[in-house]
């Protein structure tokens, strides 16, 4: 299937919903502290404006957990956009798919912008709720996926909406597709994929896709415990993606059938509470004590994973191996980062949270850092 970009379609006069990554830091007085991501989205936005599209932008910002929380409003981003594009009318909708969004869109002319309020103010966003996806889709004629760092997530505004609209890639994604296409379609082997982060369900598309291509899949992070559960292990209070236990079983069976070596942590660092200063110890994978939770991959796992990574010719990594925000539980992620740096092959790092900056030995970093997972989610429909 050809992966189309905005250049392959007619956008003049059309309402184009563009999923961008405006997940920018805000100052205490609610100004954009760093507009790098807004500037990065400009090539696609300007192309659409120059070609007389009605540009409807949507994004998440932070983790408001499905509730309206004005700490995470995109209003300051609208103000910054207006500064960057002084000639263009920029309207800000105070909701995502409600009255304000509909009114702003109805009121817009070709070559204008509407920025919708934070998609994650709706709990339906992260649940990839079809009704919410339909409401988003109803605002537009075309969907453009250009959210650097978020495209790998199966959320309504990144994946769900593409079920109901013709979908193409923006320039950021298009560029990454080109760069990564070779690595993915024609990988040098052994090809090792590393997946971590919180939830299995968030990354189903990525996992399935990788299983078709990689030789070894290393699992870490919170998602490992759902796999443990699927294997019948007790996981104490570890993160569990309850609805994905069967899926984890399916993925393990699929890996086996394909001859992919799916590796799970053999040991895990556990703590009695989710806290930076919590007491901790390392236990075998099948011996997590009741009341304790898995916070990181253990020492033996780090060594095993490092060995596999260093011997790889292609490495793709998405998602941290543990709760890297707490230094005591960042060691697994650091170990994987160091192994990637030592690997002689092509190393691609993806996903918003994967390379915790502090853990990466940037000076010796030969890897290509592409915070995008452009396969699987794009271009479900021909235009």
List interacting residues with ligand AMP (CB under 6 A): 197-199, 202, 221-222, 239, 294-295, 319-320, 322-323, 325, 351, 353
* Residue reference for tokens 């700490």: 71
* Residue reference for tokens 């399916």: 250
Beta carbon nearer to ligand AMP, 35 or 202? 202
The counts of H helices and E strands in the chain are 11, 15
Beta carbon nearer to ligand AMP, 90 or 219? 219
Q: How far apart are CA 114 and CA 135, in angstroms?
A: 16
Nearest approach, Cβ of 265 to ligand AMP (angstroms)? 10
- Spell out the residues 6+ positions from residue 104 whose beta carbon is closer than 8 angstroms to its own: 91, 92, 93, 114
Nearest approach, Cβ of 221 to ligand AMP (angstroms)? 4
Q: How far apart are CA 165 and CA 143, in angstroms?
A: 6
Phi, psi of 320 (to 5 degrees): -70, 155
3 state DSSP class of 356: coil
Nearest approach, Cβ of 293 to ligand AMP (angstroms)? 7
Q: How far apart are CA 13 and CA 51, in angstroms?
A: 8
Nearest approach, Cβ of 152 to ligand AMP (angstroms)? 9
Nearest approach, Cβ of 325 to ligand AMP (angstroms)? 5
CB 361 within 8 A of CB 351: no
Q: How far apart are CA 2 and CA 208, in angstroms?
A: 19
Q: How far apart are CA 333 and CA 24, in angstroms?
A: 24
Beta carbon nearer to ligand AMP, 174 or 355? 355
Nearest approach, Cβ of 326 to ligand AMP (angstroms)? 8
List, as one string, the DSSP characters of 188-234. Answer: -SSEEEEE-SS-SGGGHHHHHHHHTT-SEEEE-STHHHHHHHHTT--
- Cα–Cα nearest to 153, from 46, 33, 63, 224: 63
3-state secondary structure 91-124: EECCCCCCHHHHHHHHHCCCCCEEECCCHHHCHH
Beta carbon nearer to ligand AMP, 54 or 199? 199
Nearest approach, Cβ of 198 to ligand AMP (angstroms)? 4
Nearest approach, Cβ of 322 to ligand AMP (angstroms)? 5
Beta carbon nearer to ligand AMP, 178 or 327? 327
Nearest approach, Cβ of 122 to ligand AMP (angstroms)? 18
Chain centre to alpha carbon of residue 187: 22
Q: How far apart are CA 155 and CA 136, in angstroms?
A: 12
């Amino acid at each position: 299937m050809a992966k189309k970009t905005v250049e392959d379609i007619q956008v003049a006069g059309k309402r184009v919903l563009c999923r961008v990554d405006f997940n920018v830091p805000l100052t205490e007085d609610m100004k954009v502290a760093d507009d790098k991501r807004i500037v990065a989205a400009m090539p696609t936005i300007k192309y659409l404006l120059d070609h007389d599209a009605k540009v409807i932008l949507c994004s998440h910002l932070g983790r408001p957990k499905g509730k309206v929380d004005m700490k995470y409003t995109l209003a300051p981003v609208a103000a910054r956009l207006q500064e960057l594009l002084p000639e263009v009318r920029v309207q800000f909708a105070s909701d995502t798919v409600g009255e304000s969004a509909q009114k702003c869109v109805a009121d817009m002319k070709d070559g204008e912008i509407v920025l919708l309020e934070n998609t994650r103010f709706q709990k339906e966003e992260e649940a990839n709720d079809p009704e919410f996806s339909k409401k988003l889709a109803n605002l537009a004629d075309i969907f453009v996926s250009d959210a650097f760092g978020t495209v790998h997530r199966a959320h309504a505004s990144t994946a769900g909406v593409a079920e109901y609209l013709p979908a193409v890639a923006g320039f950021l994604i298009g560029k990454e597709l080109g760069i990564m296409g070779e690595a993915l379609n024609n990988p040098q082997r052994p090809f090792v994929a590393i997946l971590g982060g919180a939830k299995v369900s968030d990354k189903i598309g990525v996992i399935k896709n990788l299983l078709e291509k990689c030789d070894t899949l290393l699992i870490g992070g919170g998602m490992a415990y759902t796999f443990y559960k699927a294997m019948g292990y007790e996981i104490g209070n570890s993160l569990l993606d309850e609805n994905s236990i069967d899926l984890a079983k399916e993925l393990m069976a699929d890996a086996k059938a394909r001859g992919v070596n799916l590796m799970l942590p053999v040991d895990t660092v556990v703590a009695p509470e989710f806290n930076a200063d919590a007491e901790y110890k390392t236990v075998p994978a099948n011996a997590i004590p009741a009341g304790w939770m898995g916070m990181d991959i253990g020492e033996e796992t780090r060594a095993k994973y490092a060995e596999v990574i260093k011997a790889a010719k292609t490495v793709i990594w998405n998602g941290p191996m543990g709760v890297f925000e707490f230094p005591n539980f960042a060691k697994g992620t650091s170990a994987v980062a160091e192994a990637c740096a030592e690997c002689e092959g092509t190393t691609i790092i993806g996903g918003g949270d994967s390379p915790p900056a502090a853990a990466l030995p940037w000076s010796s970093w030969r890897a290509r850092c592409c915070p995008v997972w452009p396969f699987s989610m794009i271009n479900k429909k021909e235009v």
